[in-house]
Structure 1
Amino acid sequence: MQAFYAGIGCRRGCPADTLHHLLRQALDHQGLALADLRGIASISLKADEPGLQALAERLGVPLVLYHGTQLQAYAPLLSHRSAAAHAHTGCWGVAESAALALASQRLGTASLLLPRQVLGQATLALAC
């Protein structure tokens, strides 16, 4: 399998275990191996989010953060657009936009491998 990247959005204080469970669920659903995950991305507003930092550390992958204006460029590729997310962050969806941004940065081009998934306080998308 080729390398892929995860984009994650979450509410403040979302535990790393919730994020890890959502990721495992997504990988199992898609038949993907955790070993092929090359990075996690989110919005810069989450720079101090302990759950995201802990997840990246636990998995041994980089956590890359993007400003909302950088993520806005991926709006045409999103499967879901949230007015609430846009009002709060300046982009229409954190998980899908962040996954696409990181995959594009590393691979030159990107597409969604798995659209936005939700579990409790967290959203996750995969891009390659």
Structure 2
Amino acid sequence: MTDDRAAPTFVVGLGCQRGCPVSTLRALLDQALQAHRIELEAVKALASIDLKRDEPGLQELASQLALPLLYFSSDELANYQQRLSHHSQIAYERTGCYGVAESAALALAEQLIQAPAKLLISRQKYAQATLALAGAA
């Protein structure tokens, strides 16, 4: 009996400082996926906090990759606080949540798969950006 389920749904959560260039975000993404042997095609969407809605680097990355970019409020992201691998006081002071990349990845993964998600790549930091990847648990 074959398993006809679709390929796994992976989503990438991103956090970045204001003005972070798309090249930095792309380098972090490529590096993380390569290190974990995940194909870029497996990534179905990007997520961040709504405070970054007007961040050109994030928008450009989504455009380059032809992926949807969804945003969550700090209240929505705060629901994932207990599941984060890292709690950043600076992130909390600036955004109201302890980790944008991980919580955004979890929030979007659970929204897309309608089931619990888990972090498959915990918080990676590079220059002005952070990244995490979540998928089905």
Match of 1:112 in 2: 119
* Paired-residue identity, %: 52
For residues 69-104 of structure 1, the C-alpha deviation after alignment (integer angstroms, 9 at most, x for no partner) is 000000011000011111111111000000000001
Aligned to 1:47: 53
Tell me by how many angstroms 1:3 deviates: 1.8
TM-score, normalised via structure 1 length: 0.98
Contact (CA 8 Å) 2:123, 2:130: kept in 1 or not?
yes
Alignment partner, residue 57 of structure 1: 63
Question: Normalising by structure 2, what TM-score?
Answer: 0.92
Runs of at least 5 residues in structure 2 that lack an aligned partner in the other structure:
1-6
Equivalent residue for 1:6? 12
Quick one: distance in 2 between partners of 1:102 and 1:56? Answer: 15
**Distance (Å, rounded) in 2 between the aligned partners of 1:83 and 1:21:** 25
- The 5 Å alignment of 1:1-128 reads 2-108=8-114, 109-128=116-135
> SS in structure 2 opposite 1:65?
strand
Q: Secondary structure at the match of 2:117?
A: coil
List 4+ stretches of structure 1 deviating above 3 A: none
Count of residues paired in the alignment:
128
Determine the C-alpha separation between the residues in 2 that align with 1:107 and 1:25: 25
Residues in 2 aligned to 1:57 and 1:113: alpha-carbon distance in whole angstroms: 24
Q: Any stretches of 5+ residues in structure 1 without a counterpart?
A: none
| 1:13 partner SS | coil
RMSD: 0.7
